């Protein structure tokens, strides 16, 4: 099942998507309300949504699929992310590789719903960054016990030049207005298939010019998603409705540093396409 949020009768409500532009609203429930109820009752999200959804189908535009309580990022989960950073940042040799290979994953806090945007909404370029990059990532929506409610496409927008200046600046490179894009929908675990066999593509366009094209597969993800969630939850009771971005396997070039008006389009065919314009924040 594909679940997200739409505007229906003037309110933002959860909805079951039949295809990219048609959905059945779930009146009186936001996506957050829905997962909170599924979490409390221990109900399967798909069964609950199916029970509460209207029979009628509306023509819709997908909004951000949840107002996330928290957004977290995992880093250096793909070899290319750690080797790029070791080469680029001139850090002690193997600094990032040690994280890719280590038992403990890199985890960082992106923010709350305040910093998150949905399909079509602007992602941020910091005014003090000259190299802000999209990081296309598979993301998971989790409950209070770390159970996975769904998978979505995400963008861990990052100011790479600030991170490069000094790794201790990582929080500033990762957290700012519009630093996390999510959507268009969550796909429930029963429908996603093998999460370690998802192809992902990213394209950046500037007017009619393509400034970057790249792809990866979650087959290259160096960790099990459940293990990353396990570390996230260690002595850290993240709330139901938290989104975890699982790391990037696509590294853009310096020439494709985001400029205002660029459009970043990320696709995972089993989930959909997330497209966002970039804007100064
Ligand atoms: O270590 C820096 C951040 C890494 C990251 O965000 C990623 O690999 O996706
Ligand atoms: Mg990332």
Q: What is the pLDDT of residues 133-187, one digit of tens each?
A: 999 999 999 999 999 999 999 999 999 999 999 999 999 999 999 999 999 999 9
Neighbours of 190 (CB within 10 A): 10
Centroid of ligand 2 to alpha carbon of 79 (angstroms): 12
| Residue 89: predicted pLDDT | 80
User: Quick one: which ligand is closest to 85's CA?
Assistant: 1
Lowest mean pLDDT among 4-13, 87-96, 114-123, 197-206: 87-96
Q: Which atom of ligand 1 is nearest to the CA of 78?
A: 8
Centroid of ligand 2 to alpha carbon of 141 (angstroms): 16
Comparing C-alpha atoms, which of 98, 102, 77 is closest to residue 223? 77
In the chain, what percentage of residues exceed pLDDT 90?
98
Average pLDDT, the chain: 97
Under 8 Å CB-to-CB from 146, ≥6 apart: which residues? 226, 229, 230, 232, 233
Phi-psi region of 118 (alpha: psi -120 to 50; beta: other; left: phi over 0): beta
Under 8 Å CB-to-CB from 256, ≥6 apart: which residues? 133, 204, 211, 212
User: Quick one: which ligand is closest to 107's CA?
Assistant: 1
3-class DSSP state of 236 = coil
| Residue 88: predicted pLDDT | 86
The structure's pTM equals: 0.98
Tell me if 135 CB under 6 Å of ligand 1: yes
- CB 180, CB 245: distance < 8 Å: yes
Centroid of ligand 2 to alpha carbon of 23 (angstroms): 31
| Residue 92: predicted pLDDT | 65
Please state whether beta strands 209-217 and 199-206 pair in parallel, antiparallel, or not at all (unpaired): antiparallel
Tell me if 106 CB under 6 Å of ligand 1: yes
Tell me if 86 CB under 6 Å of ligand 1: no
Which helix (H) or strand (E) is 164 found in, with range? Answer: helix 160-165
CATH architecture of residue range(s) 71-280: Alpha-Beta Complex (3.90)
User: Quick one: which ligand is closest to 163's CA?
Assistant: 1
Mutate to test the pocket of ligand 1, among 158, 169, 244 (most ligand atoms within 8 A of CB): 158
User: Quick one: which ligand is closest to 75's CA?
Assistant: 1
Q: Which atom of ligand 1 is nearest to the CA of 158?
A: 6
Confidence of residue 189 (pLDDT cuts 50, 70, 90): very high
* Range 123-135 average pLDDT: 98
Q: Locate CATH 3.90.850.10 in the chain.
A: 71-280
The residue whose two tokens read 């960082």 is 108
Output the residue whose Cα is nearest ligand 1's atom 7.
75
For residue 184, cis peptide bond before it (omega within 30 degrees of 0): yes
- CB 75, CB 56: distance < 8 Å: no
Lowest mean pLDDT among 85-94, 117-126, 211-220, 245-254: 85-94
Could you give the CA distance from residue 80 to residue 265 in angstroms, rounded to a whole number? Answer: 20
């Amino acid at each position: 099942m594909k679940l997200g949020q739409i505007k229906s009768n003037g309110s933002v409500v959860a909805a079951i998507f039949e295809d990219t532009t048609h959905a059945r609203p779930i009146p009186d429930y936001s996506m957050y309300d829905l997962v909170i109820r599924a979490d409390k009752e221990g109900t399967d999200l798909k069964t609950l949504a199916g029970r509460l959804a209207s029979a009628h189908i509306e023509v819709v535009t997908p909004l951000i699929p949840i107002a996330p309580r928290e957004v977290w990022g995992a880093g250096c989960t793909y070899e290319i992310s750690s080797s790029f950073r070791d080469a680029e940042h001139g850090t002690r040799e193997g600094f990032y590789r040690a994280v890719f290979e280590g038992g403990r994953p890199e985890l960082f806090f992106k923010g709350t719903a305040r910093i998150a945007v949905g399909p079509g909404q602007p992602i941020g370029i910091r005014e003090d960054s000259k190299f802000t990059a999209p990081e296309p990532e598979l993301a998971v929506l989790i409950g209070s016990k770390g159970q996975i409610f769904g998978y979505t496409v995400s963008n861990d927008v990052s100011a790479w030049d600030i991170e490069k200046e000094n790794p201790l600046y990582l929080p500033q490179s990762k957290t700012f207005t519009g630093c996390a894009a999510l959507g268009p929908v969550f796909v429930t675990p029963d429908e996603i298939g093998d999460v370690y066999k998802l192809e992902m593509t990213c394209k950046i366009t500037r007017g009619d010019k393509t400034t970057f094209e790249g792809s990866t597969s979650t087959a290259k993800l160096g960790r099990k998603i459940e293990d990353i969630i396990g570390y996230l939850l260690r002595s850290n009771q993240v709330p139901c409705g938290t989104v975890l971005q699982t790391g990037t396997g696509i590294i853009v070039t310096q020439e494709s540093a985001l400029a205002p008006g660029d459009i970043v389009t990320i696709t995972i065919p089993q989930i959909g396409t997330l497209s966002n314009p970039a804007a100064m924040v």
